[in-house]
Structure 1
Amino acid sequence: MKALPRVPQEKPLGKRMQNQKLQDAVPHFSLSCFLWKKMAGLLFVICTYIVDASAFRIQHVESTENCQGHTTYFKRYFALKGEPVILKCPSFKYKHLDFSSHPCNLTWSKNDSKMMTSGGDEEPRIWTQDDALWFLPASLEDSGQYVCTRRNSSYCAIVSIHLTVTEKTAVHEISYHQILFTFTSGKLVCPDLGDFIQKETDLELKWYKDSVPLDEDNKKFKSLKGTHYLYISFVSSKDSGYYTCEMSFTSGGTLYNITRTIQLQTLDQEKRFSPVIVYPDQKTTLAALGSRLILPCKVFIGSSKHFHTVVGWLANDTYVDITYKQGRVTEGERLEIVENDENYIEVPLIFDPVGEMDFYTDFKCEAQNNHGRQVLPTRVRQGASSLPWHTAAIPVALTCLILGGLCMHKCWKRRAGNGYAIAKL
């Protein structure tokens, strides 16, 4: 008889299962479960931070939204590095709200985040005084958007002011615009010096044209001590260009220089009585969706009478009250201003609040009188949202928490199953 091939014997099934169960019962996680646990813990920490930051920010936004108005103030402040700066918080009337006759608390913050207080040892070069924020001196990192908030027991109003600080080599980038007419005599005004003038009689300015000192014996240019004017006789087109005025200011025993640069534009004599739109000076204005925006149209009319000139706003070549029948965007009160002994008219366009439709609308400021007409188009573009990334990340944070919980549940369930198998053995 032929022998059958020998079949190798297997280990008893019960013994093999027992060894496998013992291996599975080792009291530690598998590598994948360990990584899931660590990842879940990390996600939990990150999500907790996001939720906490979001809750803080939402509380801040809600307190801001209780204000009756959030205005972007279009008087920009310019300064050179190392020179003093004073930001003034303007007082506006919001419908039935007038802070000029009601006591209120005023606070300052930068970029809507860092609160700035009066004095202190941490940053003594920056402090608040009355309705002003002082920088002695200003540095490049001070550039940005500053927010002053006026608040009392019933009302709140917010104003945003922009400050630009540059190197001294970029002085022409922060010039003030002024206009003179040819074949006449006029004067340039060194602007924004009022808060630095300690005694009017001691005021003495140094004037430069295109960085060259003006000759005091030059009869064409004359600066009188005690004034912030530069008189120019018989203006010609050659007189256009950049003028610089300098003064000294002493505070706390330290001597500072204050520099202002003026860009002079000369216009022909026949345009002397025609309106000239000087603001907006940019083709686009950034605004956050849902914020309150005031966009002023400022018109130079020289020596003309205010009532001779009409200033208004158009939206898609139509009157604003027709395009916006619900009154969300309206024209504000007409202001008749005298600056540097010259006449200006200012009519603001008020967005309350800024809507999606505004980003696709063509706005035009129109100024007209019997001597001429000028139209200046401008657009409103969407800028940074009023809600920060923290708020937008709330759904992501919740998702992270849910995934982390599922991962932990899976790992603990696997460990519990292994423990049950050992107990059964």
Structure 2
Amino acid sequence: MKALPTAPQEMPLDRRMKSQRLQDAVPHCSLSCFFWKKMAGLLLVTCTYIIDVSAFRIQRLESTETCQDHTTYFKQYFVLRGEPVILKCPSFKYKHLDFSSHPYNLTWSKNDSEMMRPGEDEKPRIWAQGDALWFLPASLEDSGQYICTRRNSSHCADVSIHLTVFEKNAAHAISYPQILITCTSGKLVCPDLGDFIQKETDLELKWYKDSVLVGEDDIKFKTLKGTNFLYINSVSARDSGYYTCEMAFTYGGEQYNITRTILLKTLDQEKRFRPAIIYPDKNTTLAVLDSKLILPCKVFIGSSNHFHTNVMWLANDTYVDITYKQGRVTEGERLEIVENDENYIEVPLVFDPVREIDFYTDFKCEAQNSYGRQVLPTRVRQEASSALWHIAVVPVALTCLILGGLCMHKCWKQKAGNGYSLAKS
């Protein structure tokens, strides 16, 4: 016969008291260790993020440093918020940068750190198409430096382009300067519209002078449908000032407004052939040590013949080929350009590569013809290298790891202490 089960005996009082003390102690240990574990976890996540970002930037740095040529593009793009803009990766004009005979890949990056990956959204606001980067429309946070990189199996070259996006009420801050000669008939050109013109027959602009519509049944001003010109009869000094041209642009069923503000300056007849240096437009150009830099000097010569104007670079008031006898810094190929029926000359200064001594050298672009002379001094300054950022990251990452280890050690030590206290009691 099987014995009937007996009722469980009640736990002795001393064991119940020990069990109660254990239950009271465990939550205290868990909460404290939970805090230190969270702190350690947060620090480890932070370290992982820093290391990952550092690795990404190292990868990006390596990819840019392998480029043999870097050009600071003389043209800066300006646009008003809410309007479309297209950044064009300029075709390389110099023989040693010729990609025309070989296929290449073109990529974009912003501020030399993040690769642009447009087209991932169903309807992206920014996307790449051919050699252009589209913004439909532009936003204030789009301002910055964009780098387009052409790369093939044997060569790599990149160009930095600056884009600045302004608020609507800052149109005069981004005006395009243009020059007309008094006592003649001239024309203003609404610039940077080529990529937005779908059919020339549909091109129709509205022109304003100081916010007043002009060009309609006007003797002084005249517009012609299908052109981006505003004709001005008998230009006088009073015609100087701000002009605005407007154009409607439709894409993907949405319509955008494109506006350009022009600052017209008038010159007397005797100054019409004098050279005027329009780039470099700043006294300082940033360059990365040991990289190749091409610094163009662009000169406006108006109606003067290209042949009659001489453009050259000086280093410490001496010809470049004399200062740099080894040929590390040279003058590039002279380019004779016609834009908007006006003549320009462009002569680049080529650094192959940039050395520290260049940061202490006075460079000057000089333009001269029989009508006048202009000299523009400029300096090359060192741009902060991304490698310095990585040097600073290493101690930060190590500090995070050390703090994370201390937090875990604190937690384990507290656990061990609580276990010893319980066993002793």
Q: TM-score, normalised by structure 1?
A: 0.81
Deviation string, structure 1 residues 284-305 (Cα, Å, up to 9, x no partner)? 2333434433222111111111
> In the TM superposition, what is the alpha-carbon distance from 1:48 to its structure 2 partner?
4.7
Segments of 5+ residues of structure 1 without an aligned counterpart are 1-28, 30-34, 417-425
Deviation string, structure 1 residues 207-259 (Cα, Å, up to 9, x no partner)? 11122221523212111111111111221222111111111111111111111
Measure the CA separation in 1 of the matches of 2:257 and 2:38. Answer: 59
Segments of 5+ residues of structure 2 without an aligned counterpart are 1-28, 30-34, 417-425
What root-mean-square deviation, in Å, do the aligned CA atoms of Structure 1 and Structure 2 show? 3.4
Partner of 2:142: 142
Q: Which of 344-353 and 393-402 deviates more? A: 393-402
Aligned pairs for 1:252-291 within 5 A: 252-291=252-291
> In the TM superposition, what is the alpha-carbon distance from 1:160 to its structure 2 partner?
1.3
CA contact (8 A) 2:207 2:215 kept: no
Deviation string, structure 1 residues 370-406 (Cα, Å, up to 9, x no partner)? 1111111222333432436234422554576679889
Partner of 2:364: 364
Aligned pairs for 1:95-106 within 5 A: 96-106=96-106
Measure the CA separation in 2 of the matches of 1:384 and 1:330. Answer: 24
Partner of 1:318: 318
Secondary structure in 1 matching 2:385:
coil
Partner of 1:170: 170
CA contact (8 A) 2:65 2:291 kept: no
* 1:216 pairs with 2:216: yes
Measure the CA separation in 2 of the matches of 1:114 and 1:363. Answer: 33
> In the TM superposition, what is the alpha-carbon distance from 1:123 to its structure 2 partner?
5.8
Partner of 1:87: 87
> In the TM superposition, what is the alpha-carbon distance from 1:62 to its structure 2 partner?
1.3
Aligned pairs for 1:52-63 within 5 A: 52-63=52-63
Measure the CA separation in 2 of the matches of 1:54 and 1:256. Answer: 40
Measure the CA separation in 1 of the matches of 2:59 and 2:330. Answer: 30
Partner of 2:75: 75
User: Structure 1 pair 398/247, CA: closer, same or farther in 2 (3 Å)?
Assistant: same
User: Structure 1 pair 319/407, CA: closer, same or farther in 2 (3 Å)?
Assistant: farther
Partner of 1:32: none
Deviation string, structure 1 residues 68-98 (Cα, Å, up to 9, x no partner)? 2122212111111111111111121565452
CA contact (8 A) 1:181 1:269 kept: yes
Q: Which of 59-68 and 201-210 deviates more? A: 59-68
Partner of 2:206: 206
CA contact (8 A) 1:68 1:155 kept: yes
> In the TM superposition, what is the alpha-carbon distance from 1:339 to its structure 2 partner?
0.4
Measure the CA separation in 1 of the matches of 2:334 and 2:57. Answer: 37
Amino acid at match of 1:321: D
Measure the CA separation in 1 of the matches of 2:196 and 2:154. Answer: 34
Q: Which of 378-387 and 219-228 deviates more? A: 378-387
Deviation string, structure 1 residues 267-316 (Cα, Å, up to 9, x no partner)? 11101111111222222233343443322211111111111100011122
CA contact (8 A) 1:222 1:232 kept: yes
Q: Percent identity?
A: 81
Amino acid at match of 2:266: T
Secondary structure in 1 matching 2:170:
helix
> In the TM superposition, what is the alpha-carbon distance from 1:38 to its structure 2 partner?
9.6
Measure the CA separation in 1 of the matches of 2:39 and 2:256. Answer: 56
Amino acid at match of 1:375: V
User: Structure 1 pair 179/383, CA: closer, same or farther in 2 (3 Å)?
Assistant: same
> In the TM superposition, what is the alpha-carbon distance from 1:45 to its structure 2 partner?
5.6
CA contact (8 A) 2:97 2:157 kept: no
User: Structure 1 pair 396/371, CA: closer, same or farther in 2 (3 Å)?
Assistant: same
Q: Which of 238-247 and 387-396 deviates more? A: 387-396
> In the TM superposition, what is the alpha-carbon distance from 1:343 to its structure 2 partner?
0.6
Q: Which of 247-256 and 314-323 deviates more? A: 314-323
Amino acid at match of 1:242: Y
Partner of 1:159: 159
User: Structure 1 pair 353/337, CA: closer, same or farther in 2 (3 Å)?
Assistant: same
